[in-house]
Chains A and B, each alone.
Chain A
């Protein structure tokens, strides 16, 4: 007996994601799903973002790692709320994990929620978490060929942060090539060249965050 189904395999995840997105929209929270390889500098970018913006907008972070609370501890030291999800071996976060983590956060007047996904350029791109925007980080130490090698992560992103540009001169990393390859996959991609260490270029990223954060929506008319 053949049974035709045409059923979405990730339907359960998508249901949670769509409920999350409704919650974020209703509460004017800019939820960002941040994706990259391990070691690209996501947590450092968030630490710098926290230091620069915590007095201007209310930010919280959900951290995803296989093991340890280390990243959440780093973020808490900046004064932000941070929830750690330990996936115990899973290579990505699921939307239901976000639902549970959001319940543990104080979301009142929250402007921006950043989900720092598990360091992996393959699997996280397949799972909608209910985010409003997706940010992919590529650092110069990884090589400038990552966009063509891992197209899914770049094709589905809204913003590309090219990090560690201070090191580019010591490496065979062509920023122009990385940008060209990324734009071929996604011509609407907003690209910022930054160094979370020297702070170069971060002001543009901060402006983007403020511009799209919930704060604007809540600002009295």
Chain B
């Protein structure tokens, strides 16, 4: 479960960013690409465990999934790539150029000071 390692990295990043530790983090927003294979349930479970005994305990985790962009090399149509049906939605060809998958990003945290 790579989500465990991702969760630990999120907590480490937050702890190094929060200006002072007198307060708590109540909301965390992350984003990820399709190929990052982040499962929401596993991610939230791992996050809750990693957040225990830190200022992130009980923080809500929001996960934004960024679609993978693709371009059809036959008809130049740009579209969101569907891993289950990897064909161009316009011409049905599968001569497709897949764009870069979005990286795993820590987008935003909401911090409540004491």
Number of B residues contacting the other chain (C-beta, 8 Å)? 34
A9 to chain B, nearest CB (A): 4
Is B54 in contact with chain A by the CB < 8 A criterion? no
B108 contacts across to A, CB distance below 8 A = 2-5
* Cβ-neighbour of B86 out of A8, A11, A184 (below 8 A): A184
By the criterion CB–CB under 8 Å, are B109 and A9 in contact? no
B105–A9 contact, CB under 8 A? yes
**A-contact 0/1 string along B91-109, CB 8 Å cutoff:** 0001110100101111111
The answer to whether A184 and B94 touch across the interface, beta carbons within 8 angstroms, is yes
Supposing A7-B17, A12-B9 touch, asked if A1 and B110 sit within 8 A by C-beta, the answer is: yes
B95 and A187 form a contact (CB under 8 A):
yes
- Determine whether the beta carbon of A5 is less than 8 Å from that of B13: yes
Instruction: Give the number of A-B contacts (CB < 8 Å).
Output: 91
Closest to B38 in A: A126
Chain B CB within 8 A of A105 CB:
no
Complex Cα gap A10–B17 (Å) = 15
Q: In the complex, what residues of A have CB within 8 A of residue B96's CB?
A: 184, 187
A133 to B101 alpha-carbon distance, docked (Å): 18
B41, CB-defined interface residue at 8 Å: no
Give Cα A184–Cα B113 distance, bound, in whole angstroms.
50
Cβ A6 vs Cβ B107 within 8 A: yes
**Interface assignment of B55: CB less than 8 Å from any CB of chain A:** no
Say whether A80 faces chain B, with CB atoms less than 8 Å apart.
no
Partner of B83, one of A8, A92, A126, A151: A151
Given contacts A9-B104, A187-B96, contact A152 B35 (CB under 8 A): yes
The 10 closest A-B pairs by CB, nearest first: A123-B2, A9-B104, A152-B35, A184-B86, A7-B106, A151-B83, A1-B111, A9-B9, A184-B94, A5-B106
Which A residues are within 8 Å of any B CB, using their own CB?
1-13, 90-92, 94, 122-123, 125-127, 148, 151-152, 155-156, 184-187
Ordered by A's residue number, 24 sampled pairs between the chains whose C-beta atoms are within 8 Å are A2-B108, A2-B109, A2-B110, A3-B111, A5-B17, A5-B105, A5-B108, A7-B105, A8-B106, A9-B9, A9-B13, A12-B9, A12-B12, A91-B1, A92-B5, A94-B5, A123-B2, A125-B35, A126-B36, A126-B104, A127-B2, A148-B83, A155-B101, A185-B86
